[in-house]
Copies of this chain bind each other. A is one copy, B any other.
């Protein structure tokens, strides 16, 4: 089986052109087939405010009414995706911007309106791995924004970590997959106050212990949940890192 590298970068990194470029260069230098997945929430909030609309987030998740759906579609699938693709092609990568509605690659269900109505938010139902594999076989590097659709023409806003995890998992059938989820933190810390306490390898039992001890909280929990789900579903390696620990191989590696 050929190896595949799936890298997810988030909104924080996109705010820093210099750091972002370091990561893109690292990504380009990585040999073999690869996929980039990106967020862009900060840019979306900024556009929303310029248009006179206050973004509404619940636990860090965007409530996506029709106007906010336009905003995230324009920012994620338009501005951010196109800029990343243009930069990657300039670096010699044969990059192609993708979102879930392209080739029907990701189909979602609109999230039920109870208990919380998040609006046009999608939960992933199916990933068409063979359509992605066809592109990879042409030497193409897909660059995914986290816009998806319900297969009936309705666009949906989807969490980018979840897209990266689902895409990585769908490709384990014919690839050995390494997934790196970049965040604002260097990795998982045993003690949040001590940046030296980075855990090199975190297995599921230790994760549950850390969670119970209160050392893990907030936005990191759904990310780790995604990461362990990927490990359980056949992804070989899941890396939790920021741009620096990724490039220097000093990140946290999740294991069974």
Which residues of A come within 8 Å of B, CB atoms?
47, 50-52, 70, 73-79, 81-83, 85-87, 89-90, 94-99, 101-104, 134, 138, 140, 147, 149, 151-155
Tell me whether A89 and B73 are in contact in the complex, defined as CB-CB below 8 angstroms, given that A83-B155, A99-B97, A155-B82 are known contacts: no
Check A153–B90 contact: CB distance below 8 A: yes
Q: Roughly how many angstroms separate A182 CA and B52 CA in the complex, as a whole number?
A: 35
- Nearest B residue to A155 via CB reads B86
Q: Which residues of B contact A99 (CB under 8 A)?
A: 82, 85, 97
A97 to B21, CA, bound (A): 24
Are A74 and B78 touching (Cβ within 8 A)? yes
User: A82 and B77: CB pair below 8 A?
Assistant: yes
On whether the beta carbons of A85 and B73 are closer than 8 Å, the reply is no
Instruction: Give the docked Cα–Cα distance between A82 and B106 (Å).
Output: 13
| Residue of B78, B104, B149 touching A75 (CB-CB under 8 A) | B78
Query: Quick check: A74 and B79 within 8 Å, CB to CB?
Result: yes
Contact in complex: A86, B103 (CB < 8 Å): no
A152 contact set on B, CB distance < 8 A: 90
Measured in the bound complex, the distance between the Cα atoms of B155 and A138 in whole Å is 24
A81 partner residues in chain B, CB cutoff 8 A = 77-78
The residue of chain B having its C-beta at the shortest distance from the C-beta of A152 within the complex is: B90
A122 vs B230: C-alpha distance in the bound complex, in angstroms?
Answer: 43
Q: List the B side residues contacting A103 at CB < 8 Å.
A: 89, 94-96, 140
The answer to whether A97 and B102 touch across the interface, beta carbons within 8 angstroms, is yes
Known: A78-B79, A78-B81, A86-B153. 12 other contacts (CB 8 A): A51-B51, A73-B82, A77-B82, A83-B153, A85-B101, A86-B155, A89-B151, A90-B151, A95-B102, A97-B97, A134-B138, A138-B138
